[in-house]
Amino acid sequence: MPNMIKASNFEEYVAHFPFEIQEKLRILRKLVKETAPDAVEGISYGMPAFKLNGKPLVYFAAQKNHFGFYATPNTHEAFAEHLSKYKQGKGSVQFPFNEQLPLELIKRMVSYKVRELSN
């Protein structure tokens, strides 16, 4: 699967992936939109991105074997214990394709970031 996808919107982005991955990307998108209804959707750094009040909220992407989820370092630090079982980088976490997405955890992370950007 390509690393940097050229897409101008979410549907163009997901079209690059197999059906199972498309389904999970759509689930992630729906979760973010429901949790942060005022967020503005777009593509940034070649992946689906959401901004709130003009500031980055979250990004996510399908990679070779995992979904990358990016909610900035401070959000990841706040959920460090819950994310400890996943491979991480500074401000990123990898959710393997062969595991269920931790939707409740992702929702809590998005809510945390919404509160931070609303202050």
Residues of the chain with pLDDT under 70: 1-3
Domain boundaries, the chain: 10-118
Give me the pLDDT at residue 2, please. 42
Check residue 102 and give left, alpha or beta (phi > 0: left; psi -120 to 50: alpha).
beta
Give me the pLDDT at residue 3, please. 55
**Neighbouring-strand partners of residue 3:** none
Domain 10-118 classified CATH 3.90.1150.200? yes
